[in-house]
Amino acid sequence: MFKAILIEKDENGQRVSLSELDESRLPEGDVTVRIACSTLNYKDALAITGKGPVVRRFPMVPGIDFAGVVEQSTDPFFRPGDKVVLNGWGLGEVHWGGLSELARVKGDWLIPLEPAFSFSRAMSIGTAGYTAMLCVMALERHGVRPESGEVLVTGAVGGVGSVAVAVLAKLGYEVAAVTGRVEESEYLARLGAKRILPRSDFNQQGKPLASEQWAGAIDVVGGHVLANVCASMKYRGVVAACGLAGGMAFPATVAPFILRGVTLAGIDSVMCPLDERREAWRRLAEDLDPALLDGMTQHVAIEEVIGVSEQLIAGAMRGRVVVPIANP
């Protein structure tokens, strides 16, 4: 038997509970992992609260991240005792995820835990931090350097935004942070933001083109915020877009792209190729100050996850939420 958050759905609606499950219910896979730590992400909270169509197969164990120790394996690349991390690959959507004491997955989805990270450290980064690093790498790949000019980060108090601000600042970029919670300005300044801007400056319909301000941007919000960010990019600026907290729509024009040569780079962390995943985690071990992780991380017991999910959706949490499961 093992303990897990379980989402069920029938004609009476969705139910979520912390359940005791038999190991025989685990899905197919060639590696079984004893989970040490998981996380609670915005996507997980949408799944648990039922406020977003995240889960595509029921019953489902949510949790798009986990770190732990291989318990059984028929995959030649992993042996019992190996420390591993998993992000994405449909966990918590179509395959049982990490808010559980056990997981059974495909070995192709796993990567070795970087020696620099404990299980808890790896999950304080999680998919949010790994996605933030993919965004930074995209800006670099398209030629945005510290000397190019100011870089904007939207949704800066959230998990992706917090790590993005911290990594960019450590790499020498001048960072402007956008947030709907200006009371968190001191927190953002500690992470390295030089300017804090209210989201209200960005969340209304703007002009097709605005004054050129940003050499690069990382956006987790979408909607009017992303449209206004694109409109205010410098010539040949680059926007890495990875989220839709403000909506799926993109009410923009082609003006920034055909008149200023702006690049809009989409970032997908779920199906990202293995070599890029490993590079992102390697870079996180080098380019993220571990001391800053403690200040952006909250620990929540698995028994509290269902209630905390409501707070996360309401925007009442900041940074990263780590869920300790066990100590293998």
CATH class, 2-113+296-324 region: alpha beta
Mean per-residue pLDDT, 181-209: 94
Query: What CA–CA distances, in Å, run from 99 to 169, 258, 269, 305, 306?
Result: 32, 45, 19, 9, 11
Are residues 74 and 65 in contact, defined by beta-carbon separation less than 8 angstroms?
no
Structure tokens at 238: 């680059």
Three-class DSSP category at 152 = strand
Domain ranges of the chain: 2-113+296-324, 126-266
Instruction: Examine the pLDDT at 198 and tell me if it is beyond 60.
Output: yes
Crossing angle (nearest 10°) for helices 159-170 and 274-287: 60
pLDDT band at 327 (very low <50, low <70, confident <90, very high): low
Burial string for 281-301 (b: 16+ CB within 10 Å, else e) reads: bebbeeebeeebbeebbeebe
Mean per-residue pLDDT, 121-148: 96
Instruction: Examine the pLDDT at 138 and tell me if it is beyond 90.
Output: yes
Output the pLDDT for position 27: 96
Each residue of 238-260: pLDDT tens digit?
999 999 888 889 999 999 999 99
Topology alike, domains 2-113+296-324 and 126-266: no
Mean per-residue pLDDT, 164-192: 95
**141 CB neighbour count, 10 Å cutoff:** 12
Instruction: Examine the pLDDT at 325 and tell me if it is beyond 90.
Output: yes
Cα R_g (the chain), whole angstroms: 20
Output the pLDDT for position 80: 98
Instruction: Examine the pLDDT at 29 and tell me if it is beyond 60.
Output: yes
Each residue of 253-287: pLDDT tens digit?
999 999 999 999 999 999 999 999 999 999 999 99
Average pLDDT, the chain: 95
What percentage of residues in the chain have a pLDDT greater than 70? 99
Q: How far apart are CA 222 and CA 219, in angstroms?
A: 7
Output the pLDDT for position 78: 97
Mean per-residue pLDDT, 281-306: 92
Output the pLDDT for position 201: 94
**321 CB neighbour count, 10 Å cutoff:** 28
Which residue type does 105 have? V
What's CA 227's distance to the chain center, in Å?
21
Q: How far apart are CA 34 and CA 285, in angstroms?
A: 23
CATH (one of 3.50.30.60, 3.40.50.720, 3.10.20.30, 3.10.129.10) for 126-266: 3.40.50.720
Q: How far apart are CA 234 and CA 239, in angstroms?
A: 11
Each residue of 203-221: pLDDT tens digit?
999 999 999 999 999 999 9
